[in-house]
């Protein structure tokens, strides 16, 4: 489920990469509310080589800077130190860095990977969503609920039963703005 190749002269698409449970859950205590090794592999495949934008809490939840991707961290704290990443104070600044990086890399997408505040802020600009539907209803304190499925066209869906390191069944769904 990778993005289509687009002519280099066009602006890169803004794509969200979201793993979301049936109840809208995306996180609890700064962590994912599940273990899905297959989804982590898919996340890497979809984002590799592309600029990624994330909020501070998402960045701090990662074990390290994500390799082979420009990591752009949106934070209200001008003193935030994020070794290996670019820290920006506004979505506009982050998108400007990401657009330059996408053009330099010859890629057609800017990937937004969370968290919930950033997803809400960028939703009006997003043209694509790489959605992992987690077939479960876990406890959570962070949600991704504010999108209307009617605004999106489903391009593909792949259902998966849990593998050896997956806690729940899930589906990879590719959505494009209708």
For the stretch 25-47, pLDDT in tens is 999 999 999 999 999 999 999 99
Q: Which domain holds residue 66?
A: 15-177
Q: Which CATH number fits the domain that encloses residue 38?
A: 3.40.430.10
**Does 87 fall in a domain?**
yes
**Does 162 fall in a domain?**
yes
How many domains does the chain contain in total?
Answer: 1
**Does 52 fall in a domain?**
yes
Q: How far is CA 165 from CA 11, 30, 118, 153, 162, in A?
A: 37, 20, 29, 30, 7
Indicate the pTM of the whole model: 0.92
Long-range contacts formed by 6-10: CB under 8 A, 24+ apart: 6/108, 8/103, 8/106, 10/108
Mean local confidence (pLDDT), 156-170: 97
Q: Residue 106: pLDDT above 60?
A: yes
**Does 5 fall in a domain?**
no
**Does 137 fall in a domain?**
yes
Q: Beta strands of 22-127 (E only): which ranges?
A: 25-27, 52-55, 71-74, 86-88, 109-112
Q: What is the pLDDT of residue 16?
A: 98
Q: Residue 8: pLDDT above 60?
A: no
**Does 2 fall in a domain?**
no
How sure is the predictor about 147, in pLDDT bands with cuts at 50, 70 and 90? confident
**Does 10 fall in a domain?**
no
**Does 3 fall in a domain?**
no
How sure is the predictor about 9, in pLDDT bands with cuts at 50, 70 and 90? low
């Amino acid at each position: 489920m990778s993005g289509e190749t687009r002519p280099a002269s066009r602006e890169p698409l803004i794509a969200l990469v979201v793993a979301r449970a049936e109840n809208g859950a995306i996180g609890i205590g700064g962590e994912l509310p599940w273990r899905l090794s297959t989804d982590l592999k898919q996340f890497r495949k979809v984002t590799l080589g592309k600029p990624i934008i994330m909020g501070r809490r998402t960045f701090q939840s990662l074990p390290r800077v994500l390799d082979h991707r420009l990591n752009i961290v949106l934070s209200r704290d001008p003193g935030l130190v994020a070794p290996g990443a670019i820290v920006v104070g506004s979505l506009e600044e982050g998108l400007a860095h990401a657009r330059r990086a996408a053009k330099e890399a010859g890629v057609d997408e800017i990937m937004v990977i969370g968290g919930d505040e950033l997803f809400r802020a960028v939703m009006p600009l997003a043209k694509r969503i790489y959605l992992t539907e987690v077939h479960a209803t876990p406890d959570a304190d962070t949600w991704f609920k504010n999108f209307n499925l009617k605004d999106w066209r489903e391009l593909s869906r792949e259902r998966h039963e849990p593998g050896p390191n997956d806690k729940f069944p899930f589906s990879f769904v590719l959505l494009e703005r209708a």
